[in-house]
Amino acid sequence: MQVTEFEKKAGFLGKNYALGVTLTPVDQKTLADELAGLQLAVEDWDRHRGRRGDHIQLTVVADEPMHDRFESGLEAMLAAGSPFRQLVKGRTLAVSVLYPGGRVAREADLTF
């Protein structure tokens, strides 16, 4: 898992922040570990940036069998009332699922 923060100008003197997270699961175990790490990374970023952190770019690079497993895991994390859903509420969650060569399999912008 790789985590990167981006800064963007907001107004004359303000700044907003985006969090970029890349997951590279190779099996169910690493997927579960990386999804848990995703939640921890977003929690930490939220504590640090608060509502000035307004965009999360989640990229998953994996073989096709992992795509549906990732989608199921993310859906469970985003279930109504879940702690993760509360973290992303009011933010844009942009999700890109890529094949290992970089070709896009799925993309979605989610807001809650």
Q: What is the pLDDT of residues 92-108, one digit of tens each?
A: 999 999 999 999 999 99
102 torsion bin: left (phi>0), alpha (psi -120 to 50), beta (else): left
- Quick: pLDDT tens for 41-85: 999 999 999 999 999 999 999 999 999 999 999 999 999 999 999
On whether residue 36 sits in a domain, the answer given is: yes
Stretch 16-29: mean pLDDT:
97
Q: What is the total count of domains within the chain? A: 1
- What is the DSSP code string of 19-85? EEEEE--SSHHHHHHHHHHHHHHHHHHHHHHGGGEEEEEEEEE--HHHHHHHHHHHHHHTSTT-HHH
On whether residue 78 sits in a domain, the answer given is: yes
Instruction: State the average pLDDT for the chain.
Output: 96
Stretch 7-12: mean pLDDT:
86
- pLDDT for 13 equals 80
Residue range of the domain that includes 46: 15-106
